[in-house]
A and B are shown apart, each in its own frame.
Chain A
Amino acid sequence: MNRRDFLQSAGALTVSFALPAWAQKLPGALERYPQLDAWLRIAADGRITVYTGKAELGQGIKTAILQVAAEQLAVEMKSIELITADTAQTPNEGYTAGSNSMKDSATAVMHAAAQAREILLGEAARRFGVSAESLTAQAGEVRAPDGRRIGYAALLEGKALSVRAAPQSKLIRTRNVMGKPISRVDIPAKVTGGAAYVQDLRLPDMLHARVVRPPSYGARLKSVAADSAARMPGVLKIVRDGNFLAVVAGREWQAVQALRELRARAAWDEPRKLPQDIYATLAKLRTEDIVIAPAQPAFAGKVFEAAYTRPYQLHGAIGPACAVARYEKDSLTIWSHAQGMYPLRGAIAELLGLPPERVRCVHMEGAGCYGHNGADDVAADAALIARAMPGRPIRVQWMREDEHAWEPYGPAMMTQVRAALDGSGNVGGWDYGVWSNTHSTRPARAGDLVAGQHVEKAFTPSPPRPLPLPDGGGDRNAIPYYKFPAARVTNHFIPEMPLRVSALRGLGAYMNVFSIESFMDELAAAANADPVEFRLRQLEDPRAREVIQLAAERFGWRSYRKQNGRGRGFAFARYKNHAGYCAVAMEVDAQRETGELRVLRVVAAAESGEAVNPDGIRNQIEGGILQSISWTTFEAAMWNDTRITSRDWSSYPILRFSHVPQTLEVQLIDRPGEPFLGTGEAAQGPTAGALANALAHATGVRVRDLPFNRARLKRAFAA
């Protein structure tokens, strides 16, 4: 049977190819879900539905996926309904993470839509008795030169596109929708008070719950006098299971008040085991040493060394984690803003002792997450409480102190680097090591959820593991992208975790790029070379060179005149060494007396292959730069020997408008026809590197420990 015979078979539409198509790799996530109707359906009434296993996180993925689908199907964006991550409806695309959504999901949807269009053209050609090449697809119908036309739905007659994807598609290159700065589809609701988030979900008979989290990691609930809370207005139930303690009320404010009362009546045993000097502690812990670049560098001539540190840093969502769960007839539905609906389903099914098919996880947006935060944990909280209140939807939102104290942080890290310059002033030998915990404790099992560790029959967390290259975890971007003659790189993976940690935007790339790019400037100075020129002469990839040259030119790097107290800095990375390119140039002002550091002006250049939505990419790069300025200037989690003490925004300050640069410019290079590369995390590392280098240029002081807050800079300037 050939491709054009697909409508002749009875029932579902099936087709196979003369070539053994499955012998070749399929584009993007089609490799995992090769059936076109996993991604795309056209109903008998003409409605088009596109399915993605990825989730909108505020990064604009819904708009970009609608753009590729609309372009390739030759329909308007507004005629397509998009269903995002839902275990009852969409493919399992794991987590929406790693800047992979364009590469995996948008690529799959683009090819599925293009192949669907070709099938529709083929069927219309058969019916009209003309060649498919003479037909055009436009506005949801196929048109013939003689004026005959037929709608997509009429061609399909309500049948599904149960067709296995081909390795190659005939892609439309017109770029009527793709490549355009189309307005995001989610923004109008967000700026007018529409229901936009899981926080806004109101189901009939819904109740509100709050969890009384222990005051510290590992605390045990000795006793709780729940009577007074139970008698408070609106309180319907106190749920206790081991160290898991929660209260359910009819109204949200009643739940908050009862939480405060219950917390005051709970007595906990708290272990005093948090380490004080974190870097000394990490340095003593057992490591698994993985050599990821095995060269044996020679260290002839002058040898340079440096060591860098990065503290624990928070995701710090502005909206604390929230979920709604409903348990009825031994089935559970959860509405959640977590990044992986299928993995969450598995972990929660285990927590509740249900078969996974009895748990449905539906993604709804929350506040921006920037990685694995409390979203999964609050979903587990809601699940446990919903089971105790069958039939009633339960909405749980964490309080600010829950979010700050219990979210898994971006891990503290240490790096060390040693390098020699050769006779021509280039890097000869390079030896780099990174020390870090895992960068993912994302829930695979019930024991990975906070509630799973707090219930009476506590579940065991999954063993921590390093994430494999080429993406990597602590070692993401640890291998320099520069062409050094001999580079040795070792990932010193530390299994034991003193604080709870997981994936934070960019994972190890933030720290590794900060370290490598700081050291490149130190070496450039030693070689008496311009930092930009020093990078360019050791880079082969022409696309990397182009973003560097563009950022330097737009910044006015060559004509820069240094003023007292000010300085310029430059840094570059290709995210994961195989995703988006980003170069950042900036100017800072540093006050020696106060330790105050301000970024005045930033110019970035970025390239992510074909740009589906150039404004979406710019928005991600701008946001990444400002967030990284915040991490790099202000952020470090604090604790004492027992408790996390960063419990609100005064004890964990972040960027405010006073420290936003006066200008921020993003230059985008578009490469139509090239594969989509990830963008969302590309700016984090280069921004930190550029800031460190600008600080050094402004003051003559090289600071190698993050963050560059006033207290640290005052000490550094005084030294």
Chain B
Amino acid sequence: MQKNLLKPGWIFGLIAFLVLFWLPLVARPHQINLLTEIVIFSLYAVSYNLLLGFGGLLSFGHGMFLGLGAFTTGAMLQRIPGLPFFGAVFLGTLMATLIGLGVGCLLLRHKGSYYALLTLAFNALFYAIAIKWHTVTGGDDGLPIKRPGLHLGFVQLPMSDVTVFYYVTLIVIGCAVLFCWYFTKTAMGKTVLLLRENEERMQFIGYNPAVSRMILFTLTAFFAGLSGSFYALFFKFVGVDAIGIDMTTTALLMTFIGGTKNFFGPVLGAGFYITFQNFLSNITDRWPLFMGILFVLLVLFVPRGLSGLIQSLVDRIRRTKTE
């Protein structure tokens, strides 16, 4: 029974991966760019869902980690000449992780509405810093970035090429998403899941909920920072939008559109969100309004998101087959 359930999942995953590898061969450059953006935001949304879906923690401060990753990567590339590609990514991710650890330590006793508010306040704080600290972040003007080339010992990859950047992003971010998935299967991941279900009982058995929550928070900060680094390298520009509340909103929308109950829901959500946004912004300048209306309709009528919708469709087909 277990094997039967697993098999379609693996086949589906393999197909998805092959399709993602094959797509740049037939797509036009702007479509590849769109795809790169989807891949980057997939990790961002997946890391957010580790908090919201798996940890049951509603955070309004996820945008600050993407922003921290992006700003650190940008500022370091500007300040340190000859900084290699992965050096910049590493520094950006490290910064987000360290700040995540610090904020996580302050938050560890809280959950629920306090958690939401405190994360929002921290996000607002970092946003204010990004605007005020003009010498490093460029303030309102933002930070232009030169994307460095990638040296892999014997071969040098031209990162300015759209397709090459796509493949590098796909491999790095894809591995990170897979690691997130692996994390949910580990003992630590299960602990977080069970904490959401019954914290008192977990405490009774001898787990420390505060520490587990802090570890989870730091981990999600790490992944958001990684996606932030790639965000900066992808757009070759970091503005204050990257660290604002709207960036958190984006994570929330993507995750919720895709569905929080399924691990790969946020990936679906990110894909849908960016494609839909691209489609809408071609038609109208008011795309955020339609995004908001869609979001409210989803909350009202499809609270489990797209993946929940697909799941119930699959269930229905299965039921008719067995009957």
Partners in one complex: no
